[in-house]
Structure 1
Amino acid sequence: MASGSAIRGSRVGAGPMGEAERGDTAPRVRISYWCANGHETRPMFAEEAGHEAPPTWDCPRCGYPAGQDQANPPSPVKNEPYKTHLAYVKERRTDEDGEAILDEALAALRARRGGA
């Protein structure tokens, strides 16, 4: 059984805060953005910052970039697939270079082991 006169889940100074205590909110404006999938996103900006709204906004539904022109939304960004270490090596070396390096490494290994 709880004791005392404290209200559970509250803290000192907690209470209803209205506009009188917080101050007035800045005037706001909603700007529409459309992505390539046709999703509309309408984030709010301060009215003073309305003329400085970003040209693109990430769509919260699909993640594509969204623009302010509904007829011409920005195209989705193409991500290149992850390259393996071997893919980077193959870009720098030819097959002949690889064979030469392998033969050199095998010769060094055989020399250390004292083999043929």
Structure 2
Amino acid sequence: MSVRSSGSGVSTQPLAQTSSSRSRSKLVIVVGSANSSNSRRLVELAERNGTTAYLVDRASDVLVEWLDGVEVVGLTAGASAPPVLVDEVISRIAALGPVEVVEHEVTRENVRFTLPAAVRQL
């Protein structure tokens, strides 16, 4: 089985990854909270593109039956999900058999925010 991971990061990167990996992945797992609009949006995007998608808070939420007959799993995370949670999901899948992890970087974002002038002068 191959796990294609975009990791976590700024919200546009996982969104783009979910869209670009849909043709290879028959299943997308989004690591994030149900109260995160970003995480819910990732699931919606995958489903809109015809891919089965599930939102999980943690690795133990991944059900073995989701993986039946699936050769490639798309794995991404909401913007605020810690990368360690993505790693734990990969470990859970790997516990079921051999896994090849392929990370995809769709975009690299280098957003810098400057402090307001009043704060910089302090």
Normalised to the residue count of structure 2, the TM-score between the two structures is: 0.21
Greater gyration radius = 1
Greater strand content: 2
Greater helix content: 2
